[in-house]
Amino acid sequence: MSDAVIIGAGLGGLLCGRILSRKGWRVTVLEQGGQIGGALQTFVRDGIRFDTGFHSVGGLGPGEPLERIFRPLALTDLPWVPMEPDEIIGGTDPFLRLSTGWEEERAHVLEPYRQSVWRLKGGGKTLADALSRDLDILVRKRVTDIEDHVVACADGSFYRGEAVIAAIHPQVTLQLLRDPVRPAYRKRIARMENGPGIFTVNAKLRSGILPYINHSIFLDGKVMIHFGEADDAGFARSLDLLAFETPGQAGGDGCGSNRTSVARSLIQAAARRLPGLPDAIEKYWVSTPQTWERFTGTPGGTAYGLRKYDTQDYIAPQTPLPWLYLTGQNIGLHGVLGTAVSALNTCNSIAL
């Protein structure tokens, strides 16, 4: 039996694991996928590393909010690289416009990016690997049932914990939960609205064409442009284009012509800021909200999870069951900073 069984090895689950194990807790982390990290995962195609979700963080400079959380966990020792401030062209930052509605939350998410912006050499995998050191993490363990301190997996194995921390989407947690809880609690979470899914184009670039730009570009409140790493001559080797699902695209299977037309329209839009882009692209790969749903188990492939319009949309880390806790981007705020704050809140509420 573990002191804590954690469901999900994304940032939220890994951070809780790290915090609790540093306090001497015996922790077991169960991850449905073959890789840890969730939205921190990277993948390699044709020898180029691409980020899936996380590209940069805000507020990691001395005394800034993320630094205050990461320093005690030795995460500021990782190879963080300072970036220039984001370039926002026409319209608001789509991260904020679409994912949140709650003014106070916007301020919390945006402010750290005004202070400083950082990327991580090796991408999100570097952070996930650092967090996973010394943790007991079991992969390919898809949790199917949660009941009375016991977590059961699709392969027939089960794990018991004094505490169980669900670092997955709360709507999924409640679908897996077999214990009776107040119907009003279930109903409230089931009815909460999710933010949009995301399309991503990961492009491999021909060498020596597009100069590397050390900041992210947000175009017309619609398209986000993130550069990968630079080669020795200062040219970009890869670039990621991200756009939220629009109502017209919602519900599509993200396959075939839809997938290709979305990719083309993203490349075309980005070419307004980077005219050399279409010629620079050697090859690209597309992921859709359906890809996200498959990989992370988030309903509809929502990128940032539950929308937060109001203080009423706040979900506490505690649940009606004294041994079951929630964490992750849906509890409080999304993003690396938001998820880190949630992990601290969750661990604090387990009464460290």
Binding site for ligand FAD (CB under 6 A): 7-13, 30-33, 38-40, 53-57, 142-143, 167-168, 172, 198, 242, 296-298, 303, 328-329, 334-336, 339
- Find the residue with minimal CB distance to ligand FAD: 10
Q: How far is the CB of 171 from ligand FAD (least distance, A)?
A: 11
Q: Which is nearer to ligand FAD, 280 or 287 (CB)?
A: 287
* Residue 115: burial class (beta carbons within 10 Å; 0-12, 13-18, 19+): middle
Which C-beta is closer to ligand FAD: that of 179 or that of 279?
A: 179
Q: How far is the CB of 51 from ligand FAD (least distance, A)?
A: 8
Report the alpha-carbon distance of residue 254 to residue 220 in Å, rounded. 23
Buried b / exposed e along 45-76 (16+ C-beta atoms within 10 A): eeebbbbbbbbbbbbbbeebbbbebbeebebb
CB of 279 to ligand FAD, least distance (A): 26
Q: Which is nearer to ligand FAD, 30 or 213 (CB)?
A: 30
For the CB of residue 352, give the shortest distance to ligand FAD in the complex, in Å.
20
Considering the complex, what minimum distance in angstroms separates the CB of residue 233 from ligand FAD? Answer: 26
Can you say whether the dihedral through the CA atoms of 112, 114, 115, 116 is positive or negative?
positive
Beta carbons within 8 Å of 176's beta carbon, 6+ residues apart = 143, 144, 145, 146, 166
Q: Which among 97, 89, 129, 51 has a CA at the least distance from the CA of 196?
A: 97
State which residue, 38 or 221, has the beta carbon closest to ligand FAD.
Answer: 38
Cβ proximity to ligand FAD: between 31 and 245 the closer is 31
